[in-house]
Amino acid sequence: MGGAAPELRSELRRLVHEHVPSHFLGAFTDDPADLEAAQEFCRLLADRGLLCMTWPEEFGGRGASIWEQTVVREEMWAHHEPRGAQYMGVNWVGPTIMRHGTADQQRKHLPPIARGEAIWCQGFSEPGSGSDLASLRTAARRDGDGWLISGQKIWTSYATMAQWCFLLARTSTGARKQQGLTVFLVPMSDPAIQVRPIRAMLGPHHLNEVFFDDLRVTDADVLGTVDEGWKVVQEVLAYERVGIARYARCERLLHAAPSVLGDRWDDVPDELKARWARMLTHCRRARLLAYRVVSLQGGGDVQPGDAAAYRIAVTTLDQDSAEVLTEIASYATPPEAGADRFDDDTAKWFRRAVEDHWRYSQAATVASGSIEMQRILLARTLLAAS
Domain boundaries, the chain: 5-118, 122-227, 245-385
The confidence score (pLDDT) of residue 206 equals 79
Q: How many CB atoms lie within 10 A of CB 365?
A: 17
The confidence score (pLDDT) of residue 207 equals 86
Q: What is the CA angle 308-311-317, rounded to 5?
A: 145
Q: What is the mean pLDDT of residues 291-300?
A: 81
Lowest-confidence region among 171-175, 292-296, 332-336: 332-336
Q: How many CB atoms lie within 10 A of CB 386?
A: 5
What is residue 336's DSSP assignment? S
Give the C-alpha separation, 306 to 296, whole Å.
9
The confidence score (pLDDT) of residue 1 equals 63
The confidence score (pLDDT) of residue 30 equals 82
Question: How far, CA to CA in Å, does 119 sit from each of 10, 198, 290, 322, 385?
Answer: 27, 19, 25, 29, 39
Percent of the chain scored above 70 by pLDDT? 92
pTM of the predicted model as reported, rounded to 2 decimal places: 0.86
CATH number of 245-385: 1.20.140.10
Lowest-confidence region among 6-15, 131-140, 259-268, 361-370: 361-370
Query: Do 169 and 214 touch, CB atoms closer than 8 A?
Result: no
CATH number of 122-227: 2.40.110.10
Mean pLDDT, the chain, as a whole number? 89
The confidence score (pLDDT) of residue 335 equals 55
Give the C-alpha separation, 142 to 216, whole Å.
10
Q: pLDDT category, 341, cuts 50, 70, 90?
A: very low
Give the C-alpha separation, 162 to 197, whole Å.
13
Q: What is the mean pLDDT of residues 308-323?
A: 92
Residue 310 phi, psi (nearest 5) = -65, -45
Residue 101 one-letter amino acid: G
Query: Do 240 and 91 touch, CB atoms closer than 8 A?
Result: yes
The confidence score (pLDDT) of residue 201 equals 67
- In this predicted structure, the answer to whether residue 122 has a pLDDT above a threshold of 50 is yes
Say how far residue 179 (Cα) sits from the centre of its chain. Answer: 27
> Which of the pair, 182 or 347, is modelled with greater confidence?
182
- In this predicted structure, the answer to whether residue 336 has a pLDDT above a threshold of 60 is no
> Which of the pair, 166 or 86, is modelled with greater confidence?
166
Q: What is the pLDDT of residues 275-288, one digit of tens each?
A: 999 999 999 999 99
- Map residue 34 onto helix, strand or coil: helix
Percent of the chain scored above 90 by pLDDT? 64
CATH number of 5-118: 1.10.540.10
- CA Rg, the chain, in Å? 21
> Which of the pair, 64 or 297, is modelled with greater confidence?
64
Q: What is the pLDDT of residues 244-264, one digit of tens each?
A: 789 999 999 999 999 999 999
Kind of pairing, strands 120-123 and 164-170? parallel
Nearest CA-CA partner of 267 in 326, 208, 332, 322:
332
Residue 385 phi, psi (nearest 5) = -85, -10
Say how far residue 22 (Cα) sits from the centre of its chain. Answer: 22
Query: Do 82 and 89 touch, CB atoms closer than 8 A?
Result: no
The confidence score (pLDDT) of residue 339 equals 47
Give the C-alpha separation, 70 to 77, whole Å.
11
